Amino acid sequence: MQKLFRALDPKSNGSSNKHKKKQQQQQQHHPQEQEPQPNGCNPISVKPLPSCDKGCVCKDCGRLLTDKTVQQQHLSPSVGHQLLSVNSSNTQQQTHQGEGGRESSCSALAMSCSKEERRKWINHAQDQAFAWDFDVFDFGHRTQGNPLISMTIALLELHNLMEGWKVNRQTVENFLLRVEAGYNFNSYHNNVHATDVTQTAAIILGALAKQVDEIPKMDVFCIIMASAVHDLGHLGVNNDFLINSRHPRATTYNDKSVNENYHIARAFELARTNKGCDIFELFTFDEQKKCRQLMIDVVLATDMAIHFELLKNFNSQMEAVPDVNQWEDRNLLYRMIVHLADIANPSRPFGLARPWAERVIQEFCEQGDKEQQAGLSVSPFCNKATMNMPRAQLGFIDIFVKPTLQAFEGAAPEFIRMALQELENTISEWKKLEQAGVKMPAGL
């Protein structure tokens, strides 16, 4: 399983002529880094656009689309969404000149629904905010494709962080609208996954709160927001693919935690370069520095390449100081919370764990197809011909999920015991499916 995260050797392809051919294929694959469109759809043959001079509402994901290209992307066969024409009264668009003179708008991304409907979504999220059987897939449909902003605002409200604290409510909403729109239509790394991780991190935080005297509001805010943005703009491929295909993002971040560096950098770019989106504007200078550093550290900790180092350091600290209430520096603790939240879905009830497994396997196989198209070796666990979903899940649970849960038991015993119990049931279910000969998700 460790090979899943190793870098492939780009020099292993033989002669210089073959290497030259490979470079040409890679250049065709991504000639230049482009600003990702909301939801990351690729413009291909599309159905005729409806009359959307004032903008269109995507009936399937509930987003307001004012750009013709983005509207066409939503109508493409690979996405298959329906658009409805809207009047100018459906939105209040306030544009401004962003960095480099590029026109941008925050409020133009506003969800096309009434305040009452949005309030209903947030209330539902609050009712389920700490439930381990929370069905995030159903919630995604309920919110018309806007689960992340709904859950994140619900959690911020529950922690009294939206009113009478250090943030402006409208600014937070503006920022989260852009974040949600910045998640691509990947099989796994999408806004639904981000919602799942954010809710999981809140559950773990709640369990931790019973073991410590206090968790500062600033820390809670940073963890919730870092969870929400932790996969922002993900392209549906891992770091090895970006490095080996010589993707511009790998060049920008020097092959170091490429995805993770991009996610957090993009989040701060959204906040800093878009009018009405700077969620840190009311913080003091020192508070901004502290919050930024914590969010960076937390998101970078989600890189699976550092999993074993992170787990080793956490176990060492737990052995040295078993009472987490005595930890003077909680940075490692917070990094572990979001990392655990990121890999914890196998410990959900199996009715939720299985759909997550099917989605991640699908995305792996899609990466394998892209590797073949780019002339790269197909990565381990990305090969449809050799994929065995139950076996892959059992291996991931044994090597990554279970040891991480066990390590965190001293910090959040109530949650961990419940999650481990669900995990044992999931292990049993995967063994049954393996014995039944199931190898791939239906349709792959």
pLDDT of 341 > 60? The answer is yes
Token pair 């919050």: residue: 291
What is the overall mean pLDDT for the chain? 83
Tens of pLDDT, residues 297-314: 999 999 999 999 999 999
HSE, side-chain direction, 13 A CA sphere, residue 263? 34
DSSP state for residue 59 in the 8-state scheme: T
Range of 46's domain? 40-91
* pLDDT for the residue numbered 70: 58
Contact 263, 232 (CB under 8 A): yes
Tens of pLDDT, residues 101-148: 222 334 434 545 788 889 999 999 999 999 999 999 999 999 999 999
Confirm whether 7 is domain-assigned.
Answer: no
Q: Are residues 168 and 240 in the same domain?
A: yes
Task: List Cβ neighbours of 287 (8 Å cut-off, separation of 6 or more).
Answer: 166, 218, 280
Q: Which amino acid is at 223?
A: I
Confirm whether 100 is domain-assigned.
Answer: no
Tens of pLDDT, residues 311-330: 999 999 999 999 999 999 99
Give the number of domains in the chain: 2
Confirm whether 20 is domain-assigned.
Answer: no
What's 384's domain CATH number? 1.10.1300.10
Contact 167, 273 (CB under 8 A): no
Entry pTM: 0.79
pLDDT of 39 > 90? The answer is no
Contact 61, 81 (CB under 8 A): yes
> What is the average pLDDT across 28-42?
42
Contact 294, 226 (CB under 8 A): yes
Q: Are residues 45 and 172 in the same domain?
A: no
User: Rounded CA gap, 444 and 438, in Å?
Assistant: 12
Task: Please report which residue ranges of 129-247 form alpha helices under DSSP H.
Answer: 136-142, 147-158, 169-181, 191-209, 217-229, 239-244
Burial of 191 (C-beta count, 10 Å sphere; 0-12/13-18/19+): buried
Helices then strands, counting H and E runs in the chain, come out as 18, 5
Calculate what percentage of the chain has a pLDDT beyond 90: 72
Task: Please report which residue ranges of 321-412 form alpha helices under DSSP H.
Answer: 331-343, 350-373, 389-396, 402-407
Q: Which of 74, 81, 159, 189 is catalytic?
A: 189
Q: Are residues 64 and 174 in the same domain?
A: no
The token duo for 416 is 């961990």
Contact 37, 12 (CB under 8 A): no
Confirm whether 27 is domain-assigned.
Answer: no
pLDDT of 280 > 70? The answer is yes
Q: Are residues 243 and 334 in the same domain?
A: yes
Confirm whether 346 is domain-assigned.
Answer: yes
How confident is residue 2, by pLDDT bands cut at 50, 70 and 90? very low
> What is the average pLDDT across 271-296?
97
Q: Are residues 78 and 127 in the same domain?
A: no
Of 48-57, 220-229, 385-394, the least confident = 48-57
Can 189 be counted among the known catalytic residues? yes
